[in-house]
Amino acid sequence: MNPFRALGAVLRSIRAGWLLAREGVFAAVDPAVAPPEARPALALARLVAKRNPGPGALSRAITKLGPSYVKLGQFLATRADIVGPAVMRDLEALQDRMPPFPRAEAAAVIEAAFGKSLDAIFVAFGEPVAAASIAQVHRARVREADGSERDVAVKVLRPGVMRRFRRDFADMYARAQLAERFLPEARRLKPVEVVDTLARSVKIETDFRLEAAAASEFAENVRNDPDFRVPLVDWDRTAQQVLTTDWIDAIALTDDAAIAAAGIDRKGLARTVIQSFLRHALRDGFFHADMHQGNLFVDREGRLIAVDFGIMGRLDLKQRTFLAEILYGFIVRDYERVAIAHFEAGYVPRSHAVADFAQAIRAIGEPIHSRTADQISMAKLLTLLFEITALFDMKTRTELVMLQKTMVVVEGVARRLDPRLDMWTTAEPVVRGWIEQRLGPRGKIEDVGRGLAALGRALADGPQLLERIERLAERAEAAPAPAPERQGGARWRTLALWAIALALVWMALT
């Protein structure tokens, strides 16, 4: 490494360490658990720490360090296994908002990207409306070939941000390598891998052609959804540093007064938030993984609109089946089903007993069913489930963690709209619909042969099968009815009937 570059890296590391120490970030570290080599540094850090850093100190320090560290912080906020739950909560508060850069600089970026003057691309180009570490958004106007005009949103990459990322990631990479070399304790956390993952995701987030592609794929998936839409991409005005989409002239989900003035049904909107997220995850396996209210709008017809497709999550069919099975298993209180889903997906090694695992899962599921509907959190449920599954050697699944993290956010958005939202009844139709469709006539075509054979067996087995159905029905009737004020008797009866129907399908197939 060239000596000036190395000196620069050392100075920047000192500055980063200093800023973090000033905000008291290291003061919280217990010297007893730190490696002996780090103790003098910790003592120094304690000395320079502000007396009363107060809440938000960590996110303040990180914001001062700039975009790369904001991204690192946001990434670590999804990794309790690395930073621990307390720091994770601090990091979750990290807001990616920055002062805007001047309109003239944005114009220069656009002109360089298209090799044309700004006036040749837009008939009007406004001041920034929102700014974050990677980009900012302007409202602009374009003229079509037929002379008509329409408004667009233009997202422009922050000038110099690529260079900054490259430099900061090189620094972080060097530090991670040093740590792996000299701090055996740190090796378990795989710091080099963390920096690698981060650099890769930032590369995707800073190429707006990829964000445009995500927006376009997403739009195709939801084109028939009556209650959800996304802005269309203007490919002619999109490049690596510039993303142009339809301007969304709707009410921001943050604007409670406007939502009230427009007479939007908050309960209905909350339902739409949950159901569309689950539909995208289950039906399409492609979901918006940054669904905070700043990225959401509602139009006059009550339709939900999402913007910002920099971070999307994908689930393959196996993961979707797994998700539907566990959610449904919890809804109908079938913990064995939840356990088996884990084994079938290959997430938990077969060396564990299904019954033991089901028992641990029951410990999560049962307390939830004794709560009132508005206290049940699907996100919390998934969080607890992943904690339990870790005990059974389930490895961290990046996509599922992403889903769970997004679920926390989505649920927060929905609860703010409707504090009494019932997660279960809201989620049930989407989850059941998907399972039905997978197990129903359409999903069946794939294994029609197997189905026919099973049917043959079931018919030959007729009397026995009938007897089993009878016994099941008896048991369902004998079961004590749940207290109606607590969970709504009709809903549970429907669920019980569903459980029976599914049991029948299962019996016919085995």
Ligand X SMILES: Nc1ncnc2c1ncn2[C@@H]1O[C@H](COP(=O)(O)OP(=O)(O)O)[C@@H](O)[C@H]1O
- Residues in contact with ligand X by CB under 6 A are 129-130, 132, 134-135, 137, 153, 155, 231, 245-248, 294-295, 307-308, 310
- Which one of ligand X, Mg ion, none is in contact with 153 (Cβ closer than 5 to 8 A by kind)? ligand X
DSSP string, 379-429: HHHHHHHHHHHHHTTPPP-HHHHHHHHHHHHHHHHHHHH-TT--HHHHHHH
CB of 258 to ligand X, least distance (A): 13
Long-range CB contacts (within 8 A, 24+) of 327-334 = 327/378, 327/427, 327/431, 328/431, 328/432, 328/435, 330/365, 330/368, 330/381, 331/424, 331/427, 331/428, 331/431, 331/495, 332/495, 332/496, 332/498, 332/499, 333/365, 333/366, 333/369, 334/499
CB of 501 to Mg ion, least distance (A): 43
CB of 212 to ligand X, least distance (A): 11
| Assigned token pair, 59 | 């996110």
Contact call for residue 404 and Mg ion (CB under 5 A): no
Measured from the CB atom, the residue of 19 and 252 that comes closer to ligand X is 252
CB of 427 to Mg ion, least distance (A): 25
- Which one of ligand X, Mg ion, none is in contact with 135 (Cβ closer than 5 to 8 A by kind)? ligand X
d(CA 74, CA 91): 7
Choose, by CB under 5 A, the member of 59, 238, 295, 321 that binds Mg ion.
295
Measured from the CB atom, the residue of 253 and 394 that comes closer to ligand X is 253
Contact call for residue 63 and Mg ion (CB under 5 A): no
Site string for Mg ion, 243-282 (x = CB under 5 A): ----------------------------------------
d(CA 324, CA 431): 6
CB of 133 to ligand X, least distance (A): 8
CB of 54 to ligand X, least distance (A): 27
Site string for Mg ion, 296-325 (x = CB under 5 A): ------------x-----------------
- Which one of ligand X, Mg ion, none is in contact with 248 (Cβ closer than 5 to 8 A by kind)? ligand X
- With contact defined as beta carbons under 8 Å apart, do 183 and 167 qualify? no
- Which one of ligand X, Mg ion, none is in contact with 261 (Cβ closer than 5 to 8 A by kind)? none
- Which one of ligand X, Mg ion, none is in contact with 310 (Cβ closer than 5 to 8 A by kind)? ligand X
Reported as half-sphere exposure (CB side, CA atoms, 13 A), residue 318 has a value of 8
Measured from the CB atom, the residue of 136 and 319 that comes closer to ligand X is 136
284 is catalytic: no
CB of 403 to Mg ion, least distance (A): 19
d(CA 205, CA 141): 25
CB of 164 to ligand X, least distance (A): 16
Measured from the CB atom, the residue of 153 and 403 that comes closer to ligand X is 153
- Which one of Mg ion, ligand X, none is in contact with 340 (Cβ closer than 5 to 8 A by kind)? none
The SS3 call for residue 59 is: helix
CB of 101 to ligand X, least distance (A): 13
Measured from the CB atom, the residue of 295 and 404 that comes closer to ligand X is 295
Measured from the CB atom, the residue of 199 and 364 that comes closer to ligand X is 199
Beta bridge partners of 326: none
Measured from the CB atom, the residue of 137 and 214 that comes closer to ligand X is 137
Measured from the CB atom, the residue of 249 and 470 that comes closer to ligand X is 249
- Which 8-state DSSP code applies to residue 277? H
| Assigned token pair, 458 | 């079931």
Contact call for residue 133 and Mg ion (CB under 5 A): no
Measured from the CB atom, the residue of 290 and 428 that comes closer to ligand X is 290
Cα torsion 421, 422, 425, 427 to 10°: value is 70
Helix (H) or strand (E) holding 501: helix 489-509
Other C-beta atoms closer than 10 Å to the C-beta of 213 total 16
Catalytic position from the list 290, 308, 334, 422: 290
Q: Which residue has the tokens 């029976």?
A: 500
The SS3 call for residue 458 is: helix
Q: Are strands 296-298 and 242-246 parallel, antiparallel or unpaired?
A: unpaired
- Which one of ligand X, Mg ion, none is in contact with 130 (Cβ closer than 5 to 8 A by kind)? ligand X
Q: From 315, 263, 308, select the one nearest 287 (Cα to Cα).
A: 315
- Which one of Mg ion, ligand X, none is in contact with 137 (Cβ closer than 5 to 8 A by kind)? ligand X
Beta bridge partners of 154: 138, 244
- Which one of ligand X, Mg ion, none is in contact with 228 (Cβ closer than 5 to 8 A by kind)? none
Rounded to a whole number of angstroms, the CA Rg of the chain reads: 27
Other C-beta atoms closer than 10 Å to the C-beta of 478 total 7
Supply φ then ψ for residue 66, to 5 degrees. 105, 180
- Which 8-state DSSP code applies to residue 283? I
Contact call for residue 241 and Mg ion (CB under 5 A): no
> Which chain residues interact with Mg ion by CB under 5 A?
295, 308
Catalytic residues: 290
